[in-house]
Amino acid sequence: MMSFTMYFLLPNRSYAGDGTRSTLGQSVENHFAFAVYMYGEYPPFNEYNVGNVEWIRDMEGDVFNLGGDPPDVEDLELTPITIEELGERMRDADFIIPYGLPKASSPAPDTCG
């Protein structure tokens, strides 16, 4: 089976945990998978999510931090990356997966609440 290189772009914290788990799933399937937390949109880093990050790294993938302050979580260090570095890396990717919906640019109307 051929191994692919893929990047999961995670711009919304609501989907970041699921995106991390999907990255791990592709790593387990023998692909080179990378998660990119964008602009400080992190999932809650409980023991489960920290374990997923560690496991992704064990499977030759990585989890990147693009443009946000790194979270202050014990036993967790995200690999910092710039937009230029990410662009260079994604040129060699087989798949780029924008995961989840982008964060809303304006609040919902009062009638929705």
Per the domain annotation, does 16 fall within a domain?
yes
Q: In which domain, by residue range, is 85 found?
A: 5-97
39 inside domain: yes
User: Does residue 105 sit within a domain?
Assistant: no
> Which CATH number is 61's domain given?
3.40.1260.10
106 within domain boundaries: no
Any domain includes 45? yes
Whether residue 107 is contained in a domain is answered as no
Cα distances (angstroms) measured from residue 52 to each of 56, 70, 79, 113: 6, 17, 15, 34
Q: Is residue 102 part of a domain?
A: no
What is the tens place of the pLDDT at every residue in 41-98?
A: 899 899 999 999 999 999 999 999 999 888 889 889 999 999 999 999 999 999 999 9
pLDDT at 113: 61
Domain count, the chain: 1
What is the DSSP code string of the chain?
----EEEEEE--HHHHHHHHHHHHHHHHTT-EEEEEEETT-PPP--HHHHHHHHHHHHTT-EEEEESSPPP--TT--PEEE-HHHHHHHHTT-SEEEE-SPPPPSSPPPGGG-
Residues 26, 81: Cα–Cα separation, whole Å:
21
> Does position 2 have pLDDT exceeding 80, yes or no?
yes
On whether the pTM is more than 0.75, the answer is yes
Domain-embedded: residue 85: yes
